[in-house]
Each structure stands twice: as C-alpha cells, then as structure tokens.
A and B are shown apart, each in its own frame.
Chain A
Amino acid sequence: NAGVMQNPRHLVRRRGQEARLRCSPMKGHSHVYWYRQLPEEGLKFMVYLQKENIIDESGMPKERFSAEFPKEGPSILRIQQVVRGDSAAYFCASSPGGGDADTQYFGPGTRLTVL
C-alpha cells in the first residue's frame, strides 16, 4: 500500500510565478490536509479537504493561495504570484475519515524555493 505521495519534491520559482503542489492520498483515504513548515518552526495547518469539498481553510492566506481535491486525481495546492516568504516545506497528510481519532499520515513534502 503506497503511502501519501507528493510531487514535485523540490520546486523552484521566481517571484510572481505560480506554484502547483500535488498530493495523492493513501489508497482508501478521502481526507486531505495541507500544512506549511518554515525553517526552525513547527507545522502550521493550512486547509482540510474532503473529495470536492473544502472543510476548513482557516489556516490559508486569503489571497494567492487556493486548494482543491477533485473527484478524480490528486489534491492541488496552488500559490499564485509567489513571493520569497512563500519559501517553505509544504506537507500533505491524509486520513481515512469517518473516525474521531483518525491518524493523519504524511507525505514527504514539497520544498518550495522562491528566488
């Protein structure tokens, strides 16, 4: 059973470009979470999605950031017009859903560098 997959693992963008980060959850998982980790900091929750629905986006900046989890295909975190402050590691996690104590399983992360 493959784990959570994220691609690309490393992404370099120039200021003003768009970044698209992809996450394929574990087989059978219908819940996806995105987190951001800055150097020397912990994980910051960004958004929680189920198939075709955003459940909680309280941690996501109001501008330039968006996320989706379509019926088919991976979840996408999209950052428009990137700035240097967006440089970070972005982690996706998935869980089966339906249980109160679902464990979240993490992907290897995408490390975004904005030049």
Chain B
Amino acid sequence: AQSVAQPEDQVNVAEGNPLTVKCTYSVSGNPYLFWYVQYPNRGLQFLLKYITGDNLVKGSYGFEAEFNKSQTSFHLKKPSALVSDSALYFCAVRDKGGYQKVTFGTGTKLQVIP
C-alpha cells in the first residue's frame, strides 16, 4: 500500500522569506511524486513532479521540490514567498510498479503574511 503524509496542517511565513512545505511518503517500490496547489473554490493545479533523475525538481511559479530517497521525503520549497502563494498544497505519490492510482496527502495550508 502507498501513503503520503503532510505533517503540518498550516505553515505561516513572512513575505519574502523562504518557505518549505513538508511531505513524506511510503511505497513498496520506487515513487512518482507530485505537488499540486489549490486556491479557494478552485480545482487542483499541477505544480511539479518527480519521475527519475535529478533529485531537485523545478516547477511552476518558482517552486521546487527535493526528492530524498533515504528520508522518503519530497519537500516543496520556494526561495522567496509571495502573498499570492497563500493556498492549500497537496503532495501525492504513485508507486511506479502500480497502475495510475495516485494517493494524496491531507494538504497543508500555506499562509504568507505581508
């Protein structure tokens, strides 16, 4: 069985500061990992994904994420937070060995304070 954990319900960061949203995962094989963002009353928007290769993945809106196999983590990062980054962020995982069912985390609310 595969699972993903987002240990923080909410993260607060001052505008201009770096931000990190944490994600850890569990799969039986090798993972595909995804980050999505959800703005209020909207659907999820794809940010980035890790398939293979370079552990640092760059995505939309200046976000990046680092795959760490030994720590089974895929934390989302951005060097300088914007107020417009305030939203709900979801991490997701899929086992490479499986078909296309993706498991989502419970989400982390990011609040960027002006």
B83 at the A interface (CB under 8 A): no
Residues of A within 8 A of B32 (CB): 100-101
Q: Is B102 in contact with A104, judged by CB distance below 8 angstroms?
A: yes
A43 at the B interface (CB under 8 A): yes
Q: Is B100 in contact with A31, judged by CB distance below 8 angstroms?
A: yes
A111 to B94, CA, bound (A): 27
Q: Is A105 in contact with B100, judged by CB distance below 8 angstroms?
A: no
Known A-B contacts A4-B43, A103-B49; A43 and B104 likewise in contact (beta carbons under 8 Å)? yes
Contacting residue for A42 out of B42, B49, B104, CB 8 A? B104
Contacting residue for A91 out of B44, B96, B102, CB 8 A? B44
How many residues on chain A are close to B (CB under 8 Å)? 27
A48 to B105, CA, bound (A): 18
Q: Is A56 in contact with B99, judged by CB distance below 8 angstroms?
A: yes
Q: Is A106 in contact with B90, judged by CB distance below 8 angstroms?
A: no
B67 at the A interface (CB under 8 A): no
B106 at the A interface (CB under 8 A): yes
Minimum Cβ distance to chain A for residue B94 (Å): 8
A95 at the B interface (CB under 8 A): yes
A97 to B41, CA, bound (A): 27
Residues of A within 8 A of B14 (CB): none
Contacting residue for B49 out of A91, A93, A101, A111, CB 8 A? A101
A43 to B106, CA, bound (A): 7
Known A-B contacts A101-B32, A101-B49, A101-B51; A48 and B101 likewise in contact (beta carbons under 8 Å)? yes
7 inter-chain pairs at a CB distance below 8 angstroms, sorted by A residue, are A6-B43, A43-B44, A103-B46, A104-B102, A106-B36, A106-B44, A109-B42
Please give the residue numbers on chain A whose beta carbons come within 8 Å of chain B beta carbons, in ascending order.
4, 6, 31, 33, 35, 41-43, 45, 48, 55-56, 91, 93, 95, 97, 100-109, 111
